[in-house]
Amino acid sequence: MVIGGGYIGDHAILVARAMRPGGVCHVFEPNAESAGLMSANAANNGVTNLEVNQIGLWNEPDARLRLEGNDSHARPVPADPAGAPGSFRATTVDAYAKARGIDRLDLLMLDIEGGEEAALQGTIGFLRRSKEDAPVVVFEIHRSYVDWSHGLAATAPIAILRDAGYAVFAVRDFQSNIPMRGCRIELLPLDAVYLEGPPHGFNMLAVRDEALLDEAVFRLCRDKSPKLLLHKSPVLHHPTEWLAHLPPWLDGEKGSP
């Protein structure tokens, strides 16, 4: 597995633990402080199958980038000049895998603040493998970096995946830790995603084999928002299960339009 944008390991450590025994999670985090905290968190939690790489992911194997912005919202952009102070090395998933002798990639997760398009371009060798061997892809798309005014299908990251034979869906989820016991993971087809509102981002799921979307785990729905929000319209912004039975802890809150 490869994670681009590991931050302090808040999800990478959990994923790596779930992969044991046998699986290895390769994480890329160019921010030195975040990468150090991720390594420390892995050690404190006894996770030994997490490999932290303090470099970025891009569409060229020998790129030099810099971070524009602060902390977890810093965006990778090409460094100009390439050796400018604060710049860092970046590589492609394909080149990294070749150098490390990795011949299989099951899952690719990307949350790199607008760098997703370049990282996907650098993974094209894996993406174009047979349906059985191509990785599942989870990635963030954000209106601050991607123009979706002509629909999600027309955006560059999604076009890369569709050209490689992927089916792509928006994932409905909360941005914070909200109890969702008893709820299936809800997916929205590209032509049925409610996108109104201020600039925002959400996660996408891409699969080459739709048979992986087990109906016991996933539900396909339409014309809803991928952003689950407690204070907004339940029809658009709450899990489907909540429309029939609100969880007790929600205290009957209905939300606003």
Does residue 255 fall inside a structural domain? Answer: no
Answer whether residue 82 shows pLDDT above 70: no
Q: How many helices (H) and strands (E) does the chain have?
A: 8, 13
CATH of the domain at 76: 3.40.50.150
**Residue 256 pLDDT grade (very low, low, confident, very high; cuts 50, 70, 90):** very low
Does residue 45 fall inside a structural domain? Answer: yes
Answer whether residue 68 shows pLDDT above 70: yes
**Tokens, residue 136:** 């599942």
Nearest Cα to Cα of residue 118 among 222, 8, 5: 5
Cα Rg of the chain, angstroms: 19
Does residue 177 fall inside a structural domain? Answer: yes
**How far is residue 220's CA from residue 46's CA, in Å, rounded to a whole number?**
37
User: In this structure, are residues 90 and 76 in contact, taking their beta carbons and an 8 Å threshold?
Assistant: yes
**How far is residue 37's CA from residue 52's CA, in Å, rounded to a whole number?**
10
**Tokens, residue 250:** 């929600």
Answer whether residue 96 shows pLDDT above 90: yes
Does residue 89 fall inside a structural domain? Answer: yes
Answer whether residue 28 shows pLDDT above 90: yes
Q: What pLDDT does 124 receive?
A: 98
User: Residue 81 — φ and ψ, nearest 5°?
Assistant: -70, 170
Does residue 183 fall inside a structural domain? Answer: yes
Does residue 35 fall inside a structural domain? Answer: yes
Does residue 192 fall inside a structural domain? Answer: yes
Residue type, 223: D
Question: What domain range is 113 assigned to?
Answer: 2-229
DSSP letter at 173 equals: B
b/e map of 28-40 (b: 16 or more CB within 10 Å)?
bbbbeebbebbbe
Q: What pLDDT does 29 receive?
A: 95
Residue type, 139: F
pTM, rounded to two decimals: 0.92
Mean pLDDT computed over 5-17: 94
Answer whether residue 71 shows pLDDT above 70: no
Which tens digits make up the pLDDT trace of 120-173? Answer: 999 999 999 999 999 999 999 999 999 999 999 999 999 999 999 999 999 999
Which tens digits make up the pLDDT trace of 174-232? Answer: 988 899 988 999 999 999 999 998 989 999 999 999 999 999 999 999 999 999 999 99
- How many domains does one find in the chain? 1
Does residue 57 fall inside a structural domain? Answer: yes
Cα 229 → chain centroid: 19
- The residue that leads in pLDDT, 246 or 233, is 233
